[in-house]
Chain A
Amino acid sequence: MKRYLKLLIVLARVNFIRQTAYRPSFILALVGKFLRAILFVAFADAIFRNVPEIAGWTRANIPFLILSLFVLEFLIGIGFHRNLLFFMYEWIDRGEYDYFLVRPVNPIFLTSFRVIDFFDMIPLLGMITIMVWYIVIAHTPLVVVAGYIILLATAYFILFAFALMLSAINFRTLIPTGIGRLYESIGRLNRFPLDVLPKFWRIALFYVVPVAVAGNIPAKFLIGTWSWLQLGYIAGFAVIIFVIAVKFWYYGLRHYSSVA
């Protein structure tokens, strides 16, 4: 664990050097990220000025959902999101992926965190700061905050598992864009309060295949509409799906045929 933490720091350092090599690009990317978050918040605010409540979400508690979404989105963006769903295809296509497999490092780790995106790291810190402020002014009990953090981690691993399974397709056939876009389409459903869906879809998406709603759940726990029992269920689901995803990924790796 210590070794991988050290490796993460070294990878972060190397990536930071690389990303700051072109200063205007770095600054513009950061500005873009912040602007996107602000625009989304402004849009949500505009909706709730006209509508008092949407499926239990009000103007007072919708920031928890939006901020949770962005925290999760930036968190996964720092690591596995683009690595598994966009860059991995390029590494395989260029023949560079061979070098990933000869290193004495877990290949899932190396593939998922090869590029650590500081364009998402810095806005993440901003979002966490705002989230902490909201939690404090809402006088949220510490035990609820602890449960919220557990659910954020759970959501992270559910989305990680989903990304792993999709990326394993690259070992059999190279799909340059489809995988990433499919993942984003499903993942971005988390932007919306999915309680608006009919009962059948709510049960399916919250309990059977909670991939699309992983981001909704931490915020629901924070505002008190998701219980500890449900937390236990979703945490267990996350462990199971992650284990399945890892096995599926290694099974796919057996079919890796490299590039001549």
Chain B
Amino acid sequence: MTAIKVNNLSKKYEYYKKAPGLLASVRSLFYREKLYTEAVKNVSFSIEEGELVGFLGPNGAGKTTTLKILSGILYPSSGEARVLGYVPWQRKKQYQKQFAIVMGQKNQLWWDLPAMDSFILNKEIYEVPDQQFKATVDELAELLEIKDILDVQVRKLSLGERMKCELIAALLHGPKVLFLDEPTIGLDVVSQQKMREFIKKYNEQKKTTILLTSHYMEDVEALCKRVIIINQGTLIYDGTLEALMDKYVDHKVLTITFTKPVMHDAIVSYGKIEDYSPLRAVIHATNDRVKKAAAEILTKLPVDDILIDEVPVEEVIRKIFTSHVTNSVIASETK
């Protein structure tokens, strides 16, 4: 069953040009130039129940705007969307009780109070029965390993601890759909890892549909089989991560260290040389030639060590973000 269905969704913001300086400020009291920005342009996609989908794009691509429209925070300029059969911006209570949003850079917990007090408030707001509330808090606090900080004022918690509490606050009512907007931003590597593990486990156990935005490729690689890439408001890819790599990556990375200095000319025929020094080279060899190139290098050159790596996902995404052809839909693969 389709949990999220988006059809030609668009959002245009209007704003006024504000030039710097005192004179410009005074002038703006009498005349202002109105400008528009299309944050989201005719975006369409659908997500099935239980899917965990990565929603990627550079800063200002339209990811958060899309999430906010699907949460009912913003009205779209045009287009349609349905989440669990509801139109989000109608803000029906029945819909609001079935989804949750966590925004990594914003705080929903009461700053001066222990997290538990915020949970109790959310319990009443979402009308969570007492037993379910207790069981959920116990279960999630156990999973996230924060049982001992629920009675500590939120402002005294570290960012990682706070994010875990934010997650619990969002999941108290057992939402069917979860929007995660950069949930690991600013966290240390250990906290990021724990957060990823939790999200994955939660998705597997509860079959919650999750739409996740993140700038960390580790999040995407660890959690998402499918990614939707948006750039300058336009959807440019929707498909599996695997298919994305197959489509856009035509080479592998050979990293070779030598026991004796090797001339540049000796390795130029094996592929594109990304980095070279007499004792070390990094070569991009095409997929159809990489095995043969590796075999030849091993036999012909004084090799100390050789590594064959996949191109990092980050590099692929970066290439897509900066590519000149990204304004049109490039591919729409089925999962």
Instruction: Tell me the minimal C-beta distance from B235 to chain A in angstroms.
Output: 20
Taking A18-B110, A95-B105, A95-B106 as contacts, is the C-beta distance between A102 and B125 under 8 angstroms?
no
Q: Given A96-B108, A258-B74, A260-B64, do A104 and B113 touch, yes or no (CB 8 Å)? A: no
Query: Do A96 and B73 form a contact, CB below 8 Å, given A7-B125, A10-B124?
Result: no
Query: Is A189 part of the contact surface with B, judged by Cβ < 8 Å?
Result: no
Q: Are A104 and B74 in contact, CB atoms less than 8 angstroms apart?
A: no
**Do residues B72 and A101 form an inter-chain contact, with CB atoms below 8 A?**
yes
Residue A53 at the B interface, CB < 8 A? no
Flag B88-114 by CB within 8 Å of A: 1 or 0 each. Answer: 000101101101110101111010110
Q: Which range contains the number of A residues in contact with the other chain?
A: 20 to 34
Q: A17-B113, A258-B74 are in contact. Are A102 and B101 (CB under 8 A)?
A: yes
Q: Cβ of A101 and Cβ of B91 under 8 Å apart?
A: yes
Q: A14-B110, A256-B73 are in contact. List 6 more A-B contacts (CB 8 A).
A: A98-B106, A101-B73, A102-B96, A105-B125, A258-B68, A258-B73
Whether, in the assembled complex, B117 has its beta carbon less than 8 Å from a beta carbon of chain A, the answer is yes
Tell whether A200 is near chain B: CB-to-CB under 8 Å: no
Query: How distant is A97 from chain B, measured CB to nearest CB, in Å?
Result: 9
CA distance in complex: A18, B103 (Å): 24
Determine which of A3, A14, A21, A98 lies in contact with B121 in the assembled complex, contact meaning CB atoms within 8 Å: A14
Q: How far is the CA of A258 from the CA of B103 in the complex (A)?
A: 13
B108 cross-chain contacts in A, Cβ below 8 A: 96, 99
Point out the residues of chain B lying under 8 angstroms from A260, CB to CB. Answer: 64
Against B, the Cβ 8 Å flags (1 = close, 0 = not) of A1-39 are 001001100110010011001000000000000000000
Contact A11 B121, beta carbon cutoff 8 Å: yes
Is B72's CB under 8 angstroms from A256's CB?
A: no
How far does the alpha carbon of A94 sit from the alpha carbon of B107 in the complex, in Å? 9
Within 8 A of A (CB), among B91-147: 91, 93-94, 96-97, 99-101, 103, 105-108, 110, 112-113, 117, 120-121, 124-127
A144 to chain B, nearest CB (A): 38
Contact B125 A104 (CB under 8 A): yes
At the interface, yes or no: A199 with Cβ under 8 Å from chain B? no
B71 interface contact, C-beta 8 A: yes
Verify B73–A14 contact, CB threshold 8 A: no
Within 8 A of A (CB), among B140-176: none
What would be 14 A-B contacts, judged by CB atoms less than 8 Å apart? Answer: A10-B124, A14-B117, A14-B120, A14-B121, A21-B112, A95-B105, A95-B106, A98-B106, A99-B108, A102-B73, A103-B126, A104-B93, A104-B96, A104-B127
The 3 closest A-B pairs by CB, nearest first: A104-B96, A104-B93, A99-B108
Interface residue A257 (Cβ < 8 Å from any Cβ of B):
yes
Q: Which residue of B lies closest to A9 (CB)?
A: B124
Interface residue? B202 (CB, 8 A): no
B248 within 8 A of A: no
Contact A96:B106 (CB < 8 A) given known A18-B113, A103-B96: yes
Residue in B93, B107, B112, B121 whose beta carbon sits within 8 Å of that of A96 in the complex: B107
Nearest residue, chain B, Cβ from A253: B75
Give chain A nearest CB distance to B320 CB in angstroms.
Answer: 22
A10 surroundings in chain B (CB, below 8 A): 120-121, 124
**In angstroms, how far is the closest chain A Cβ from the Cβ of B182?**
12
A139 touches B (CB below 8 Å): no
